[in-house]
Each structure stands twice: as C-alpha cells, then as structure tokens.
Structure 1
C-alpha cells in the first residue's frame, strides 16, 4: 500500500496544481486564431501544450494591440503572438512557436509592381494592428508620415476593403488573407498580386510565471520532436513553421503554383480549388 501511494504522489501533485489558464489572443485571424469555435493553429497548440502540463485553456480575445495589457495587468496567464518588437521583457517570452509571412497584396487588375517598402508611399495601405512595430525600421519609416496608411484590428475588413477597391494595398500574412478570402462569395474572390517585401516574422508567447513558461517550452520542444507539432501545422495547411526555412524559397501550399518572385499573380480559381480541400 505504501509503495502504491508513492507511485500515485506525482499524479496527485499534478491534479492539485492543475488549473484553467487564461490565454489571450488577438481577434479572429484564421488559420491561426478562429474565435467562433476556439480553434486555429495557435489556440490548439496552446491547448495541447497546456493539456500535457495538466491544465485546461480559457481563451480570451481582444484587439491585437491590447493583448499585452492583459498580461501586465494580471488578467492573463499567457499572451499569444508576441515577440521582441513588442513592449515586453525578453525574460517573459517563450521559444518561437509560429512564423508568419507578411506580404503586400494588391488587386491584379491594378497591375502594381512594388520592389521595396518605399514604393508603398505612393498608395493607400491598410495594415494589421502593430504592423509598424513588427515589420522593421524601413517599413516604419516608409509609413510614418504617410497619410494614406492605416492599421486596423479586423483583418476580415482588410480583405474586404482590398477586394472592393477601397484601398490599394493590404499588408497582412498570406495564410490569413487566403483563409479569409475563401470565406467570401466566389464572385468577390478577385485575382490578386502578392508583393514579397518582408522577411518572415516569428512569434512567441509571453508568460509571466516562470514555471509555466518553462513547462510551455519543454512541451513545445517535445511536440516538435514527436511529430504532434507538424501534424497540427499540416491540419491548418501552414506553409511555414519556425523550423521550415525561408518562405520565399518554397512554393506555398496556400497559393499553389506560385513562383518565388517579388510580384506574384494569384488567381481566384487557384484559391477556390485549394480551399475545397480544407
């Protein structure tokens, strides 16, 4: 009996420490964050990591620009999709767990050719919230005094405004654009041109509790090693992950058949065919 109790002690310890973890993420940005059913690559990854630690997840969604406030005010245990460019101490950041490939996207009918971020000064630009902070000094300088530049939290609105011709360029992650455009009626899924002006942006989670942060990193590495991480990336058809190399040298699974060049034409039919496999 005494030996049995000793064997059960670790399980008792885990169950006593198990709790619901408040995880803050930005508004809807599939395939990474899907607010309607608490899914998406980042939410499911956090949920799986926490489950391996004996915890459950309580997702909380706020505008992307306000996510870190929740951690600083003590209203969140974990904040997703942050990095060193945000106003957060490096000691709170986990290992990298996801990579975004942001691009400038225009309507193909406009026949725009962009060769550097400086070219954005000539057009109206609608970007995701915090874009100036995460896309580098050149982008910040190019848009700093630009009256035709705006950042918004609702990335679905970015897509709609671009396809309606209300703005010249949307700056956002390619996977997010693809997913959101696929939800529109086919007649609205106009051909677009992808301008590859930015490097990859890798993101981490911010966790104030040292023990939870170390556990997150440990289980993240374990999932990468045992294949669970890749299975989740494949589920959401992510073209890039922290270990998959430079996106510009790979054909995109979201934009099949595109070449690795600066201004790529992507037809609506290509996207419709690809999205039918989801």
Structure 2
C-alpha cells in the first residue's frame, strides 16, 4: 500500500529495516511482469513482494516479510451472496491493476473479458466507487481496503463484507547480494522480536495475517 509520498506499511517496513542496516532506499514502481526482468538485468538491488509466480531464482529470496490476502468486498446492505469466483460474473467488479494476471487462471478466465469487469491502478478510487454504490464488488487486499476505508470518515458507519475467495499469501524480497540478504533477514527477525513489526501494523490499523497462516516458520 503506497501513496505518492512513498508511504504505507510495506514500504515503511522495508525503509526502516534498511535504515537499521545503514542504507537508504529509492523506491521505484513497475508492473507485475517486469520485476523478474529487472533482477535479471541487475537494474535493482532489491525486489519486493515476490512470490512463486515471479519465477525468481529461489536462492535470492529472503525470509517471508509480509502477507497479503486478496478478497472480494461488498457493501453489507447489498446482501450479496458470493462464495465462488463464478458468483462475480453477473456483477460489476473493479479489481486492482494486473489482478487478472496474478489471481489465477480461474479468475482471469471468468472475468477479464466481461464488460462489467475493469482493473484500476488507483485503489482509493476502487474503495470510493464501492462505498458510493457505483459498483457491486471490488477485489483487493483486505488490509489495503481497511486502511483506505478508515481514512474517510464518511464511510465510518457503512458496513462491508469480505468474501474470502483467494488464499492468504506470504511474500519475500529478492536480494541478489548474499551479505545484504542475510542482513535483511537478521534485521527483520529483530523487528519481529522487539515488537517494531507489530507496532507498524498497529500504526496503520492492519491485521497481522501471519497469525492466520498454518505454514511453519512464517510467523513473525
């Protein structure tokens, strides 16, 4: 979750970790498919939010540092029943940019060609369009939705429903330099152990989704 001033939980966490290591960061933002190419071309020192779909050399990967869960969100007063991706096909849906590429073949195949489906880079606009009743459902990360909805007092009393159609997914960073990678892992563990990781989640009002995972060795 990133704003024009390069803020948000993920970027703030990574900035703080690297500051602890004695480094500044200069974030750049690229489409989903370009990350692996930039790493291969040695164009970046660190790539964030990496999972298996990026096909990155696993020896470059750090420990898990963040967890996302994409959900479909609807207004509670609409009383919409959505228990599968197919239930979205007769509804107007706005998803985050590249959703049809990253949410799996079933999602992309079912929705990407429908006239009632669009993708949008501005996730604050997604939330506004849902809350104002302009669209039936939006698809985005649950914590990003909670953060953006909470920023607008106008939506404080409007209840919403999360439809958990997608798995919880932990992400790693890719860092080709082995010394830098090990220092990142060590500092990340320090942030987790001394409470700074949770404090940053609390600052943004975010749920710690690591607590919903059953995988070993991923809990902060």
Q: TM-score, normalised by structure 1?
A: 0.66
What CA deviation, in whole Å up to 9, does each residue of 1:216-238 have, x standing for no partner? Answer: 12221232233332232232232
The equivalent residue for 2:26 is 58
For the pair shown, the structure with the greater C-alpha radius of gyration is 1
State the 1:155 CA deviation. Answer: 0.8
State the 1:114 CA deviation. Answer: 0.7
The equivalent residue for 1:111 is 79
* TM-aligned CA distance change 1:205 to 1:223, over 3 Å: same
State the 1:96 CA deviation. Answer: 0.9
Q: Does 1:35 align with 2:4?
A: yes
Higher relative contact order at CA 8 Å, sep ≥6: structure 1 or structure 2?
Answer: 2
State the 1:115 CA deviation. Answer: 1.2
State the 1:156 CA deviation. Answer: 1.2
State the distance in 2 between where 1:182 and 1:161 align.
15
SS in 1 for 2:25: strand
SS in 1 for 2:207: coil
State the 1:200 CA deviation. Answer: 0.9
State the distance in 2 between where 1:64 and 1:157 align.
19
State the 1:180 CA deviation. Answer: 1.5
How well do the aligned residues superpose, as a CA RMSD in angstroms?
A: 2.7
The equivalent residue for 2:218 is none
State the distance in 1 between where 2:101 and 2:56 align.
13
Structure 1 alignment gaps of length 5 or more: 1-28, 248-278
* TM-aligned CA distance change 1:48 to 1:220, over 3 Å: same
Structure 2 alignment gaps of length 5 or more: 215-220
Aligned residue pairs: how many? Answer: 213
SS in 2 for 1:122: coil
State the 1:145 CA deviation. Answer: 4.4
State the 1:119 CA deviation. Answer: 1.0
State the distance in 2 between where 1:143 and 1:212 align.
41
* TM-aligned CA distance change 1:122 to 1:82, over 3 Å: same
SS in 2 for 1:57: coil
